[in-house]
Structure 1
Amino acid sequence: MARSTFPRDRFDDLSVESGRVGAHRAENPRLRGWIVFLWAAIATLVLIIVGIFGSLVVSGRISFGTEPAPAPTASAEPTTPAAIDTSYSVVVLNGTGQEGLAAAVRDQIIGAGWAADTVETGDSDTTDFATTTIYYLRESDQAAAAGLAAALGGAQTAQSTFLQPTDDPSTPDDESDVKRLVVVVGLDRSAAQASPSPTS
């Protein structure tokens, strides 16, 4: 078989390693690697986002409005139980302009079990005190204040040094300490006393 006698040209000098013959151009392997890496990163990110979204839907943190939201449950707040403790002395102050209101509350307290000589009455500096309030000194007095409020048919309670004995703070809090509750009668009690009783 006769050999080709065509003259050599620039296509006869192409490298065999390129895998291409003729006028085809080989792709840049480095550029192709970056494209593959970019697509892999995008696919990974999409899968992560879909996974997070799916887990939120399954756990119920994301809803599409097809199911009603569960009704909120009321959380139980810790409350101090009320306790009638007649070992406390009581000071009743009339915080309204209505005469005899402190005496009427005093009679109600005595009727609840307090000794008459442990319940004192007086007038407050104000005549427009809004809500009947029972003041107590220590945290340990809160239950007794709540018990007195219940005995009066409802009243607010608040911790305060108002009209409390000014003992030395270094004195230990024991049974020898004076225990006192202060009731300031408010306009709410005045309105209740002023309301006429229903007649049969």
Structure 2
Amino acid sequence: MRPGVIALWALVATILLVIIGIFGSLVASGRVTLFPSPEPTVEPIPEVAAVIDTSFSVVVLNATGEQGLATTLKDEIVAAGWSADSVLASQASVTDFPETTVYYAFPADEAAALGLAEVIGGARVEQSDRYQPLDDPGTDELDESQSAQLTVVIGLDRTAAGAPEPESAE
């Protein structure tokens, strides 16, 4: 064989081995992925529209030290269309709840909770079964066959002391 052909084959083999080595080290270090996994698609969470649903019973708990807030809020809710029999006002066991919140038990009740929050002039809305009655006294579980109930816990943000102070123009 000719020496030029042997040198050419040696050069091609060397270049090929260097390329394979570089590619292999990139794969081993994770900089190149041979079989990439598909990117998960993120679907937007559908926004729930507020609905005023007066079929829900409402419990209003005053979790502040200021007297009369639960009764005042009950009157606002009744004026918005709820029957006086379906709205109960009471004092909570705490007096330092920070922010007025409307609680609902099931995802299907979120629209009604948002509607009630609008009726009372704005409030945080949160899903929780903490304030829901249990229909069956023998169980500690909540099920959707129960009567629909929303609970408003009045926070310090609704008191004169908890109201935000106006900003001064300095």
TM-score normalised by length of structure 2: 0.68
Q: 1:184 aligns with which of 153, 158, 162?
A: 153
Aligned length in residues: 141
Q: How is 1:19-38 mapped onto 2 (pairs within 5 angstroms)? A: 27=3, 29-38=5-14
- CA–CA distance in 2 between the matches of 1:91 and 1:155? 15
Structure ranking higher on relative contact order (CA contacts 8 Å, 6+ apart): 2
Q: 1:97 aligns with which of 61, 65, 74?
A: 65
Displacement, 1:172? 7.0
- Give % identity: 43
- CA–CA distance in 1 between the matches of 2:76 and 2:148? 20
1:155/1:192 CA distance change after superposition, 3 Å: farther
Output the aligned Cα RMSD.
3.4
- CA–CA distance in 1 between the matches of 2:99 and 2:128? 16
1:130 and 2:91 correspond: no
- CA–CA distance in 1 between the matches of 2:69 and 2:123? 15
Displacement, 1:30? 2.8
Displacement, 1:167? 3.1
Q: How is 1:71-82 mapped onto 2 (pairs within 5 angstroms)? A: 77-82=45-50
1:106/1:79 CA distance change after superposition, 3 Å: same
Consecutive unaligned residues of structure 2, counting only runs of 5 or more, are 20-42, 165-170
Alignment-mate amino acid for residue 113 of structure 2: A
Instruction: Tell me if the contact between 2:156 and 2:162 (Cα under 8 Å) persists in the aligned partners.
Output: no
Displacement, 1:171? 9.1
Deviations 1:65-97 (A, max 9, x none): xxxxxxxxxx96422111111111111010111
- CA–CA distance in 2 between the matches of 1:115 and 1:193? 30
Q: Secondary structure at the match of 2:12?
A: helix
The corresponding residue for 2:168 is: none
Instruction: Tell me if the contact between 2:101 and 2:123 (Cα under 8 Å) persists in the aligned partners.
Output: yes
1:104/1:194 CA distance change after superposition, 3 Å: farther
1:139/1:133 CA distance change after superposition, 3 Å: same
Structure of higher CA gyration radius: 1
